């Protein structure tokens, strides 16, 4: 084969290779891959929601919306955690499907999406309704599927619409909560401890307790310590005086639904003249405390030597502080931890060491008198 023929064959081979490439490329051209997602409740609107119910078995929490504020219906409409409520609503109505899962009810338990009314249910039912009671969205939230390396942004959750047989894996996670306290604003009072000047506690069938300190940096003392008696704990007066510096509730109810006629009354006065009155009573085996707050500059501590009287602006600020606390606290009775109650309402008997026990009779003491007619042994 001469050189010319070889060259022609080489050109033809190259041409065929180019043609084959383009034909192959044309046959394998596909549209770019896309990830299709869809919302389970595409028509839901957060502004239409007036009530959210979270339930599992016999447990249930109801939260209602008034304007932009969320209230705990199961606790006399006590203020709920707005941000947490809004976040759960958003995650439910924006639940975005990753993939469809089983429709076989025998497999629901594996995903945690069985009916939430069953006693053994692992999932939580979140129902969102309008003011007229009609349902906007009702979703059973099941097991969480964590992403690799615990990446919360890529985590997913198995869910099932309550009115559907189909279950799904959706993007994200859900923070629910089946106890009312999980939805409450638990902080009741926060004060700087050095603001408190004196305290007086009057409890039924117990001696009054009076505690005070001369300056914010001084150590509090029991002003009416009985003569000859000692404190069980030298730090107790300080703990009592600063008991309202930080108060966190365990439960709450309307104060009007409790009887405070036989309540212990504890009065705490700040150096500025704010008076906080705590009434405590027992109901259903628990201690409940109701607070009242008022400001009277005549009740302020005497000014230290060289100190200047508060300005009008300061007085106005203290007046507003007391008024805001009164409006927020007065309607409610708070169940507080036992240790906090013991500081808000201390008993004098508990603050004092017991009196010395009588000296035992010595062995040399004369024998007791004998009955008539009997002589002592010889």
Task: Please write the tens of the pLDDT for every residue from 263-310.
Answer: 999 999 999 999 999 999 999 999 999 999 999 999 999 998 888 999
Q: Alpha-carbon dihedral of residues 304, 308, 311, 314, nearest 10 degrees?
A: -30
User: What per-residue confidence (pLDDT) applies to 5?
Assistant: 42
The domain segmentation of the chain, as residue ranges, is 38-183, 187-351
Indicate the average pLDDT of the chain.
87
Decide: pTM greater than 0.85. Answer: no
Extract the tokens encoding 110.
């594996």
Q: Which of 9-18, 114-123, 274-283, 291-300 has the lowest mean pLDDT?
A: 9-18
Mean pLDDT of all residues in 197-217: 93
Q: For residue 249, how far is the Cα from the chain centroid?
A: 8
Q: Read off the pLDDT band of 97 (50, 70, 90).
A: very high
- Higher-pLDDT residue of 30, 329: 329
- Higher-pLDDT residue of 92, 10: 92
- Which among 160, 136, 141 is positioned nearest to 45, based on CA atoms? 136
- 103 and 111 Cβ atoms separated by less than 8 Å: no
Classify residue 184 by its DSSP letter. Answer: B
User: What per-residue confidence (pLDDT) applies to 369?
Assistant: 53
Res. 40: pLDDT tops 60: yes
Res. 152: pLDDT tops 70: no
User: What per-residue confidence (pLDDT) applies to 316?
Assistant: 97
Residue whose pair of structure tokens reads 């309540």 in the numeric block:
263
Mean pLDDT of all residues in 206-212: 94
- 38 forms beta bridges with 97
Mean pLDDT of all residues in 41-47: 92
Q: Which of 12-21, 55-64, 87-96, 143-152 has the lowest mean pLDDT?
A: 12-21
Instruction: Count Cα atoms within 13 angstroms, Cβ side, for 125.
Output: 21
Res. 248: pLDDT tops 60: yes
Helical residues (DSSP H) of 53-135, grouped into ranges: 82-93, 108-111
Q: Which of 116-120, 121-125, 357-361 has the lowest mean pLDDT?
A: 357-361
Mean pLDDT of all residues in 57-73: 95
Q: Read off the pLDDT band of 198 (50, 70, 90).
A: very high
Percent of the chain with pLDDT over 70: 83
Rg (CA), the chain: 37
Mean pLDDT of all residues in 58-80: 95
Which secondary structure element, helix H or strand E, spans residue 295, and what is its range?
A: strand 286-295
Cα distances (angstroms) measured from residue 119 to each of 12, 115, 135, 164, 196: 79, 9, 24, 20, 50
Q: Which of 46-50, 225-229, 294-298, 368-372 has the lowest mean pLDDT?
A: 368-372
- 195 and 272 Cβ atoms separated by less than 8 Å: yes
Percent of the chain with pLDDT over 90: 75
Q: Could you write out the three-class secondary structure of 6-56?
A: HHHHHHHHHHHHHHHHHHHHHHHCCCCCCCCCEECCCCCCHHHCCEEEEEE
In sequence order, what are the residues at sequence separation of 6 or more whose Cβ sits closer than 8 angstroms to the Cβ of residue 336?
Answer: 247, 248, 249, 250, 287, 289, 344
């Amino acid at each position: 084969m001469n050189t010319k023929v070889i060259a022609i064959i080489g050109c033809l081979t190259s041409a065929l290779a180019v043609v084959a490439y383009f034909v192959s490329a044309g046959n394998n051209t596909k549209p770019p891959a896309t990830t299709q997602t869809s919302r389970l409740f595409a028509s839901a609107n957060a502004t239409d929601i007036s009530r959210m119910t979270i339930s599992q078995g016999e447990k249930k929490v109801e939260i209602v919306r008034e304007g932009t504020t969320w209230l705990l219906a199961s606790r006399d409409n006590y203020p709920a955690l707005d941000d947490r409520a809004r976040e759960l609503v958003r995650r439910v109505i924006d639940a975005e499907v990753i993939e469809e899962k089983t429709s076989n009810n025998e497999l629901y338990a594996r995903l945690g999406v069985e009916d939430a009314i069953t006693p053994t249910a692992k999932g939580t039912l979140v129902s969102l309704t309008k003011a007229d009671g009609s349902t906007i969205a009702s979703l059973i939230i099941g097991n969480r599927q964590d992403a690799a390396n615990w990446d919360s942004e890529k985590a997913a959750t198995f869910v099932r619409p309550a009115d559907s047989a189909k279950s799904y894996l959706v993007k994200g996670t859900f923070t629910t909560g089946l106890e009312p306290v999980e939805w409450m604003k638990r902080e009741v009072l926060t004060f700087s401890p050095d603001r408190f000047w004196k305290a007086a506690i009057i409890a039924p069938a117990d001696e009054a307790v009076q505690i005070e300190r001369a300056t914010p940096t001084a150590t509090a003392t029991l002003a009416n310590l009985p003569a000859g008696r000692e404190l069980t704990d030298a730090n107790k007066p300080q703990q009592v005086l600063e008991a309202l510096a930080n108060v966190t509730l365990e439960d709450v109810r309307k104060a009007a639904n409790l009887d405070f006629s036989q309540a212990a009354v504890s009065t705490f006065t700040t150096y500025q003249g704010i008076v906080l009155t705590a009434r405590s009573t027992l109901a259903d085996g628990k201690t409940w405390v109701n607070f009242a707050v008022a400001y009277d500059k005549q009740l302020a501590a005497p000014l230290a030597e060289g100190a200047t009287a508060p300005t009008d602006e300061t007085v106005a600020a203290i007046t507003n502080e007391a008024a805001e606390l009164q409006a927020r606290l007065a309607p409610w009775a708070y169940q507080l931890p036992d240790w906090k109650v013991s500081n808000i309402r201390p008993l004098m008997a508990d603050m004092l060491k017991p009196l010395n026990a009588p000296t035992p009779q010595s062995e040399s003491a004369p024998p007791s008198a004998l009955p008539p007619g009997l002589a002592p042994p010889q």
